[in-house]
Amino acid sequence: MRKHTRRLQGKYGVTAVKDITIVICSYNYERFLREAIDSALAQEPQRTRVVVIDDGSTDSSRAILASYGTRVTPVLKANGGQASSYNLGLEMADTEYILYLDSDDVLYEGAVAQVLDTFERGGYAKVQFTLDVIDGESRSTGVCVPHSQPPAECAGLLRSGWLYPSPPASGNAYRVSALKRVLPLPKTTRRGIAADFFAIYGVALVGQVGVIDTPLGGYRVHRMPEDNAGANTASAAPRPGLSIANSQDVAEVVRAFPQRWDALRELVSERLGEQLPEQAMDFSYEKAHLCMWVYDAPLWRRWHWIVFGSRRYFHSILANPFWTTRKKFAAVSLTLLCLLPLRSVSDHAIRYLANPLARGTQTHRS
């Protein structure tokens, strides 16, 4: 394998330029930061540079970072959000590849070696890998993300409005030259929210996506599904069991997704000169609508939504280009359980559909 040995002088000091930069984006995660840094340092040391960007933490994160001395490149900045950390990380990455690791996630031993091998064999713009879902104590929940894998050529489907299956931020590595066609992100617009969304989907329009269908890291979910919120209307009181991720309940998904898609369309138009459809098709977004209207709802409301409001939802299942026939059948069958009179059966089916973590949580506790 190739090894880079040149050295550069920059405002962040003299650093050996290697193959990949792991940028750890950190904000007030002192509980998990050391585990994230250690997992990055355990990767190929001759090929990997570790940069930790502290985005204005007010806990003990900076003291933890200082304890690593010269083993990592520390960057201490005022709080500016995820977009500012992504932009700065890309600016500092004088390597061929970059991986953004959230400071509450971890990489497994050998992850970088497999990622680099995939890049060098396939010439991809992005390489993604499966992540185990772990809890706050680093225990496996028995669930992996994503639940299905995309083809290498995702651009055509994305241009028709289908969001391809991707792991969260920490499960994606990028070719720097490809990512620079999409980033940096503007710092003063709504695009500053969920910067990984723009990197993940924008870069797929630049080149092919390599897939490693093996867990190479852990995606940490601090709150298990029963601790998060969902409701049958946007204004109703929160209900347990419908969390999408650490900070996203179903109402947030319904609100944020169209804004992110619109911002991605603007970004792609500006940077790549391409026009994406006005609306995107994504099962996660459509199932959030299902939860909003059907969960904990009376029988008449469930029937009304299924009959009159579910067209896009069922389209996101039946026309899904990434799912097998078996998975489509299972999703439709679970959904139709909502038509049964027993609300407990309906709600159980919704929880199962809404967040696969609920399945892993039951396994983990048994």
pLDDT in tens, 9-39: 444 344 445 899 999 999 999 999 999 999 9
Do 352 and 251 have their domain in common?
yes
On average, the pLDDT of the chain sits at: 86
Question: Which DSSP string corresponds to 142-163?
Answer: EEEE-SS---S--HHHHHTTBP
State which residues form the domain around 85. Answer: 7-220
- pTM, two decimals, is 0.86
Residue 327 backbone phi and psi in degrees, to 5: -70, -40
Question: What angle, rounded to 10 degrees, do the helices at 283-294 and 343-354 form?
Answer: 160
| Residue 227 pLDDT exceeds 50 | no
In this structure, are 142 and 270 located in the same domain?
A: no
Do residues 286 and 185 both lie within one domain? no
Q: Tell me, yes or no, whether 128 and 204 share the same domain.
A: yes
According to the model, what pLDDT value does residue 360 have? 52
User: 300 CB contacts (<8 Å, ≥6 apart)?
Assistant: none
pLDDT on residue 353: 87
Boundary of a domain, candidates 220, 235, 264: 220
CATH code, domain with 113: 3.90.550.10
For 278-308, write each residue's pLDDT tens digit.
999 999 899 989 998 999 999 999 999 999 9
User: Do residues 167 and 314 both lie within one domain?
Assistant: no
Tokens standing for residue 189: 């617009």
Q: 173 and 54 share a domain? A: yes
174 with 197, same domain? yes
Tally of helices (H runs) and strands (E runs) in the chain:
14, 13
306 and 158, same domain (yes or no): no
| pLDDT value, residue 190 | 52
Domain termination residue (choose one: 220, 243, 274): 220
* 1 found inside a domain: no
Is 269 in the same domain as 208? no
Q: What are phi and psi of 245, to 5 degrees?
A: -155, -165
Does the residue 312 lie in any domain?
yes
The answer to whether the CB of 100 falls within 8 A of the CB of 25 is yes
Could you tell me the CA-to-CA distances from 302 to 263, 298, 308, 350 in Å, in that order?
Answer: 33, 6, 10, 11
**With 70 as the cut, is the pLDDT of residue 73 above it?**
yes
- Is 303 found in the same domain as 234? yes
Identify the domain boundary among 220, 251, 286.
220
Give strand pairing partners of 230.
239
**pLDDT tier at 359 (50, 70, 90 boundaries)?**
low
**C-alpha pair distances (Å), 318 with each of 149, 163, 280:** 17, 15, 15
Residues 240 and 273 placed together within one structural domain of the fold? yes
